[in-house]
Amino acid sequence: MTYILPLLAVLLGYLIALAIKKTTSGINLLLAFSGAFLLSITVFEFIPHVYHSEASNIGVFVMLGILIQLMLEFLSGGAEHGHTHYDIEKSHFPWALFFSLCIHSLLEGFPIGQSDTLLVAVVIHKMPVAIIISSFLLKTQLKKWQVLVFVLLFGLMTPLGHLLSDLLNQFKTYLTYVDAVVVGIFLHISTTILFESQKNHRFNASKFIVIVIGIVAAYFLGHAH
What would the pLDDT profile of 134-188 be if each residue is shown by its tens digit? 888 888 888 888 889 999 999 999 999 999 999 888 777 788 999 999 999 999 9
Q: What pLDDT does residue 182 have?
A: 96
Confidence band, pLDDT 50/70/90 cuts, at residue 221: confident
Mean pLDDT of 212-224: 89
35 within 8 A of 81, measured Cβ to Cβ: yes
CA-based max dimension of the chain: 51
CA–CA separation, 124 vs 102, rounded Å? 17
pTM for this model (two decimals): 0.89
Confidence band, pLDDT 50/70/90 cuts, at residue 20: confident
CA–CA separation, 35 vs 39, rounded Å? 6
User: Would the pLDDT of 111 be above 90?
Assistant: yes
pLDDT mean across residues, the chain: 86
Mean pLDDT of 98-122: 92
190 within 8 A of 128, measured Cβ to Cβ: no
Identify which of 81, 67, 54 has the alpha carbon closest to the alpha carbon of residue 196.
81
**Residue with the larger pLDDT of the pair 6 and 96:** 6
Confidence band, pLDDT 50/70/90 cuts, at residue 83: low
Q: What pLDDT does residue 223 have?
A: 76
Identify which of 63, 69, 78, 132 has the alpha carbon closest to the alpha carbon of residue 103.
69
Q: 3: helix, coil or strand?
A: coil
Q: What pLDDT does residue 96 have?
A: 84
**Which range of residues forms the domain containing residue 13?**
4-224
Domains: count for the chain: 1
Angle between helices 116-138 and 144-167 (to 10 degrees): 160
Q: Is 167 exposed, middle or buried (0-12, 13-18, 19+ CB in 10 A)?
A: exposed
pLDDT more than 90, % of the chain = 52
**Residue with the larger pLDDT of the pair 12 and 143:** 12
92 within 8 A of 167, measured Cβ to Cβ: no
Q: What pLDDT does residue 82 have?
A: 61
Q: What pLDDT does residue 200 have?
A: 53
Q: 196: helix, coil or strand?
A: coil
Q: What pLDDT does residue 2 have?
A: 85
CA–CA separation, 151 vs 32, rounded Å? 21
**Residue with the larger pLDDT of the pair 210 and 85:** 210
Identify which of 85, 79, 96, 81 has the alpha carbon closest to the alpha carbon of residue 34.
81
64 within 8 A of 187, measured Cβ to Cβ: no
Instruction: State phi, psi for 6 to the nearest 5 degrees.
Output: -60, -40
- The torsion region of residue 201 among left (phi > 0), alpha (psi -120 to 50) and beta comes to left
